[in-house]
Amino acid sequence: MGVIRKTKTVEVLLNEFNKRAVAISAKNLIKQFQTSFNKTTIYRVLDKLEEDGVLHSFLGKDGLKWYAKCKGCSASEHNDLHPHFQCLNCGKVDCLSESVKLPEIPNRKIKVSQLLIQGTCDTCYL
């Protein structure tokens, strides 16, 4: 379970998430590191980092998988219930710190929820 060995791929990817504060899509990472790492490896490392509670994942605009650093998650518990904002212009995704109040749903048991807000970000906002 989780990341066991400290490999080059893990080091480089983690560094990337630490450097940038925003979420990054698997697609972007693959493009960025295509000369260094195979896409299969990147997918697998991201999986592991998520299992480990280091990253959390969610689906963005076109069903693409995005990852961002977790704050206060562990391998046993993922509490990534914050919403995400994706800019329809530049594609950038931010984690929002505000929590969402889920509607009341009778007779159903909620396991996870995902709120994706789309619009224009501060940089692209004219």
Partner DNA sequence: AATATACTGCAACGTTGTTGCATTAACAAA
Partner DNA sequence: TTTGTTAATGCAACAACGTTGCAGTATATT
Say which entry of DNA, its own copies, none residue 4 contacts (CB below 5 to 8 A, set by partner kind): DNA
Closest CA to 60 of 117, 120, 3, 126: 117
Least distance to its own copies, CB of residue 112, Å: 5
Least distance to DNA, CB of residue 34, Å: 9
Of 65-104, binders to DNA (CB under 7 A) are 65
- Strand-strand pairing, 65-69 and 55-59: antiparallel
Closest CA to 113 of 97, 99, 94, 92: 99
Looking only at Cα atoms, what is the longest distance across the chain?
Answer: 51
Tokens of 115: 């709120």
Least distance to its own copies, CB of residue 44, Å: 18
Say which entry of DNA, its own copies, none residue 5 contacts (CB below 5 to 8 A, set by partner kind): DNA
Say which entry of DNA, its own copies, none residue 32 contacts (CB below 5 to 8 A, set by partner kind): none
Q: Report the C-alpha gap between 11 and 91 in whole angstroms.
A: 26
What is the binding site for DNA (CB under 7 A)?
3-10, 25-27, 36-41, 43-45, 47-48, 62-65
